[in-house]
Amino acid sequence: MAKTRSIWVTGLLGGWLACSVSTADPLHQYGPTQVWRHENSGWKFLDEVSGFKRAVTPYTIDGGPDVGITYAPVNAEPNVTAVLEIFLANSGAIDATLEGARTSAAKRASDSSLVSKETPFRLVARPELHATKVTFASNAKSGPRSLLYFITSDQFRVKVLVNRTGDSSGDKAVDDFVQALPWNTLGTDPNVF
C-alpha cells in the first residue's frame, strides 16, 4: 500500500511539474532599460523604435507561446497604431499565416472601398527572411490605411499591422519603423541574454 501511494504521489508531482514547465510565461523583462524578451524566439521588445513608443506591456496570445505588443507614435499622432505579433511556425493562430493575417487585416479595415496592393519587402538587417507588405487603402485620399508586413523564418512568423489615416506620404515612416525593429534578435538562442 505504501509503495502504491509513493508511486501515485511521485506521478502526481511529476505531472504537476511537467504542467508548470509547459505553461511557463514566454515573456520576461530584464535589465534597467525596460526591455522585454520573448523566450521562444529571443525577440526583444524595445521601449522605443524609430519614432514609435511601446503603448502596452507585451502580452501572450491566447495564453500560449505566441506574443504581441502595440506601439504608438512618440509624437502622439492620432489614429495610428502598430501591432507586432510573433508566432511560432507551427502556431495554430489565424494570423500565423500570411493568408490569415491578410484576411484579419481586411476585416479590421472594414471599408468596402478598400483596395489592396501586395509587394515583396526587403529587410535590410535580415535579407534572408521572406517579407511581404500588403497595403489596404481607402479610395479617399485622407481615408484609413492599413499596412501589413508579414515576415517568415524557418521557426517564426512576425506580423506587423499598422493602422493609420491619411495618404501614402506617411508610409515611409512606417517602413522605417519596420526596418528599425530588432530583427537581429529573432531566432537568437533563448538561453542567452
pLDDT in tens, 136-169: 877 666 667 889 999 999 999 999 999 887 667 7
Q: What does the mean pLDDT of the chain come to? A: 82
Residue 58 burial (10 A CB sphere; 0-12, 13-18, 19+): buried
Distance CA 22, CA 41 (A): 16
On whether the CB atoms of residues 150 and 93 are closer than 8 A, the answer is no
Q: Domain residues of the chain, as ranges? A: 25-185
Side chain identity, residue 25 = D
Distance CA 11, CA 5 (A): 10
Q: How many residues does the chain have?
A: 193
On whether the CB atoms of residues 65 and 42 are closer than 8 A, the answer is no
Q: How far is CA 182 from CA 76, 166, 185, in A?
A: 22, 27, 6
Task: Give the pLDDT confidence of 71-130 residue by residue, as tens digits.
Answer: 998 886 667 889 999 999 999 999 999 999 999 988 877 665 577 899 999 999 999 999
- Of 54, 50, 86, give the one whose Cα is nearest residue 70: 54
On whether the CB atoms of residues 99 and 159 are closer than 8 A, the answer is no
Over 70: is that where the pLDDT of 193 sits? no
Q: Model pTM?
A: 0.81
Fold for 25-185, please state it.
Answer: Protein Transport Mog1p; Chain A (3.40.1000)
**pLDDT given for residue 13 in this prediction:** 42
Query: Three cell numbers at 112?
Result: 468596402
Distance CA 34, CA 28 (A): 10
